[in-house]
């Protein structure tokens, strides 16, 4: 014989399961959202000090009167171009603020220099660069070798790069989705370089 108490209990069994299911989904989403925000706001700028890779070339092409042969420096630097050039530029434009997101991998930046491609993985704010393309890059910087070398010769690389972007000598392309870029700390750096603010998609 089925009692009334059992019937009432059975009546509420299905709604309870639905509530538990949606409650579990809400808790999981809240945890993921918390991890996302923690990853974004916990990123402190890493201080990296590098020596300008053109130092010796500049010294070798400066005469006793302090006159610098820029044309010769650029010519020699193009031949000796290596990962240190990319690392120095990246540090100067502020990759120290970039960080790994709990939901995504380390920041990945690709440099397209015409006939050459270089790629950098930013690990705890420090660029690790190698020659060759990279999969799933977040950001692509398109610049000529000559322009990159001129940036290294400038008194203020960050300002030089801003001007280079303004003058269309350098292009910066956001490849990853805005949520991923935001969670790794790119958007402020992008805005500083391009002067364009990025609104997250709702």
Question: Going residue by residue through the chain (202 aa), what tens digit of pLDDT does each one get?
Answer: 455 555 555 555 666 666 665 555 656 555 555 544 444 444 455 666 678 999 999 999 988 888 889 999 999 999 999 999 999 999 999 999 999 888 889 999 999 998 899 999 999 889 999 999 998 999 999 999 999 999 999 999 999 999 999 999 999 999 999 889 999 999 888 888 888 877 665 4
Q: Considering the domain boundaries, does residue 60 fall inside one?
A: yes
Q: Considering the domain boundaries, does residue 181 fall inside one?
A: yes
Q: Considering the domain boundaries, does residue 132 fall inside one?
A: yes
Q: Considering the domain boundaries, does residue 43 fall inside one?
A: no
Q: What element of type H or E holds 119?
A: strand 117-123
* Structural domain count, the chain: 1
| 138 DSSP 8-state letter | S
Q: Considering the domain boundaries, does residue 76 fall inside one?
A: yes
Q: Considering the domain boundaries, does residue 40 fall inside one?
A: no
Q: Considering the domain boundaries, does residue 153 fall inside one?
A: yes
Domain of residue 181, residue span: 55-194
Contacts of 149 (CB under 8 A, 6+ apart): 54, 73, 74, 77, 78, 81, 85
Q: Considering the domain boundaries, does residue 30 fall inside one?
A: no
Specify the CATH number for the domain of residue 89. 3.30.1050.10
Average pLDDT, the chain: 83
Q: In the beta sheet, which residues pair with residue 173?
A: 140
Q: Are 172 and 165 in contact (CB under 8 A)?
A: yes
């Amino acid at each position: 014989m089925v009692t009334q108490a059992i019937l009432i209990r059975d009546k509420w069994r299905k709604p309870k399961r639905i509530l538990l299911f949606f409650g579990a989904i809400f808790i999981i989403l809240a945890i993921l959202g918390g991890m996302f925000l923690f990853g974004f706001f916990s990123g402190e700028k890493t201080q990296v000090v590098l020596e300008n890779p053109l130092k010796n070339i500049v010294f070798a092409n400066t005469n006793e009167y302090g006159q610098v042969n820029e044309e010769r420096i650029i010519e020699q630097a193009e031949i000796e171009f290596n990962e240190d050039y990319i690392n120095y530029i990246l540090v100067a434009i502020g990759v120290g603020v970039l960080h790994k997101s709990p939901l995504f991998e380390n920041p990945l930046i690709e440099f397209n220099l015409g006939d050459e491609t270089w790629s950098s993985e930013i690990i705890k704010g420090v660029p690790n660069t190698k020659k060759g393309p990279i999969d799933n890059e977040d950001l692509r910087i398109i610049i000529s070798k000559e322009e990159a070398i001129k940036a290294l010769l400038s008194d203020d690389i960050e300002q030089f790069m801003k001007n280079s972007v303004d003058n269309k000598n350098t292009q910066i392309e956001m490849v990853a989705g805005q949520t991923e870029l935001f969670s790794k700390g790119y958007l402020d750096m992008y805005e500083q370089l391009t002067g364009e603010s990025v609104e997250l998609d709702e």
